[in-house]
Amino acid sequence: MSVIDEVKQKLDIVEVVGQYATVTKAGRNFRALCPFHNEKRPSFFVYPEQQSWHCFGACNTGGDIFSFIMKKENMDFGEALRFLAQKAGVTITSRFEPGASTDKKEKIFQLNQTAALYFHDMLLNSPAGGKTRDYLTSRGLSLETIINFQLGYSLNSWEALKQYLTERGYSEDELLEAGLILATEEGKTRDRFRNRLIFPIKDNREHVIGFGARVLDESLPKYLNSPQTPVFDKSGSLYGINLAAAAIRQQNMAVIVEGYMDGITAHQNGFNNVVASMGTSVTEKQVNTLKRLTKNIVLALDADAAGEEAMLRGVGYENTLGAEVRVIVLPRDKDPDDVIREDVETWQQLLDGALPVVDYTFDMVISSLDLNTARDKSLATDRLLPVIIGMNDIVRQAHYLQKLARLVKVSERDLEVVLKKTRTNQDGRWKKPDQPPGQKTTPTIQRPFLPSRLEEDCLALLLQYPELKDKSGALLPEYFQNSENREIFTAWQQSGDLSSLESKLDTAVHPQLDHLINKNIHATPGNMDKRHDDYIRRLKLRFLRDLEVKREERFALEVELGGSGADLTRLEEEGIEASIQLREVFTQKLNKGSNKGDKKWN
């Protein structure tokens, strides 16, 4: 859950508004004298169910908790977020701190890019890079692949990169922060990577976020990576995602291998939906990154890594992240690089035979047991039942319960009894894989968090098809109820391209921006115009209908409270005006005849 979602969940808009105005209950909602303009009769309403507010008076506007604080405290989105996060007791991690500003990140991207080009040049053109070139050739890599992955070589020197970059105006502090040099005990600095093959690690927007480096001799460590920096978090990054994203989306499947060379060899052989985890265990963050592109994930595990723990994590990802995880286990002592280079067919067969992670877990547990003995039957039940309990999907749960019953030759009904008992003990909850046991979570207001699909799809379309920009005049910021989306939309209106858009936005909104840029909305150049018009019309309809409902509620309330005749007439007129607008949008829809039977307003 993002910080923004967490803040929304923990704070109640009625309480927040209550800090600035006296709110009184009015039916299922609340009303107050507008805190933004002077008035005698309250025309400011708070809607707890929607967690929104609206002023029907001079302001004639509304929004959510963030826009309320932005307006009231005169803050931008990021400031309002930090302000509210503090009230909610939500910790904002360092990457959201002002310290890691967009400017700073941009600087590190530039620095890394310059370094990557330098390493690349050393590999291709320097005499010292000859041995590394030979090594890559011996591993079967083509020049095209070397260029696509921008592979590089760091000279056998403690100073070469530092010198190159400082001559180009970068300071040692900047180099340190990017992790390209490190401080020695004598208070000096030196290059981090020396005499190594360099793998620049990029994000899906082609920013160089860090580096991996491999030795070519026997020295240790064999692999070295950039440290954690404001732009690099190894546990959340996937090597090759910049080259794989399109294929992953297209094939609706991602394959995760472990090593850099595994990923590169896969791509060279046409398996373009492959990314590398750069470590033995795949993390929740990595799966989450991929989930924006596909929900079908295949883990290619080497025989040693495919332990029970890895499997349980895989099952956990299915439940917590809603991804479908399948597993292929490589022949002993071989990695994907070997398998693919030996025979592409074998690799394809492995992929085709990938087993759902739960089935694989069953196989693995069962293979070590003798199910003819009572002891092993109960061991199998002990290990597999928790996996079944953890499933969110009851159909799958029933399927695997049947499977377990068959394997241990116990009736399903008996297993269900055990299952129910265990479930009561466990409170029916599956622990998140990365959550330490016994960790206490602070109580939250239980409110379903529903991201608006319509808003997101519309924004994703605009971001992915910049040519639509000229046609989007009819779209208004107030059509976006979600502040993050509204923020992104407003910044998009004011910016020329994606990178300037990103620099306009607070870093806290970047995850949502990433999500939208990568969101698969099944749009094509052929249907994008129709989609675009349709989204705008539906957003407008939703906006107007929502307003109409609010007006009607308010009208009923005024009648109940014995409002003056003039007030009521004015409200009625406003209502009529709104219905006319609404009817116009409806008519527009009928004329176009699009989306027959479309009942989804949201």
| 64 SS3 class | strand
Closest CB to Zn ion among 34 and 178? 34
- Least separation in angstroms between residue 602's CB and Zn ion is 26
- Least separation in angstroms between residue 556's CB and Zn ion is 21
Closest CB to Zn ion among 41 and 168? 41
The residues of the shown chain that bind Zn ion, judged by CB under 5 A, are 34, 36-37, 55, 57, 59
- Least separation in angstroms between residue 53's CB and Zn ion is 10
The answer for residues whose C-beta is within 8 angstroms of residue 68's C-beta and 6 or more apart is 13, 16, 17, 53
Q: Is 574 exposed, middle or buried (0-12, 13-18, 19+ CB in 10 A)?
A: middle
Closest CB to Zn ion among 23 and 178? 23
- Least separation in angstroms between residue 35's CB and Zn ion is 8
- Least separation in angstroms between residue 567's CB and Zn ion is 16
Q: Tokens in use for 431?
A: 């622990």
Run of H or E residues at 299:
strand 296-301
Closest CB to Zn ion among 57 and 356? 57
Closest CB to Zn ion among 34 and 175? 34
| 3-class SS shares of the chain: helix, strand, coil, % to 5 | 55, 10, 35
Sign of the dihedral through C-alpha 561, 563, 569, 570:
negative
Closest CB to Zn ion among 57 and 140? 57
Strand order in the sheet with 223-225: 152-154, 196-202, 208-215, 223-225
| 370 SS3 class | coil
- Least separation in angstroms between residue 561's CB and Zn ion is 19
Closest CB to Zn ion among 52 and 225? 52
User: For the CA atoms of the chain, what is the radius of gyration?
Assistant: 29
Closest CB to Zn ion among 140 and 563? 563
- Least separation in angstroms between residue 32's CB and Zn ion is 10
- Least separation in angstroms between residue 83's CB and Zn ion is 21
Angle between helices 394-408 and 357-367 (to 10 degrees): 20
Neighbours of 250 (CB within 10 A): 13
Q: How far apart are CA 348 and CA 90, in angstroms?
A: 46
Q: Is 87 exposed, middle or buried (0-12, 13-18, 19+ CB in 10 A)?
A: middle
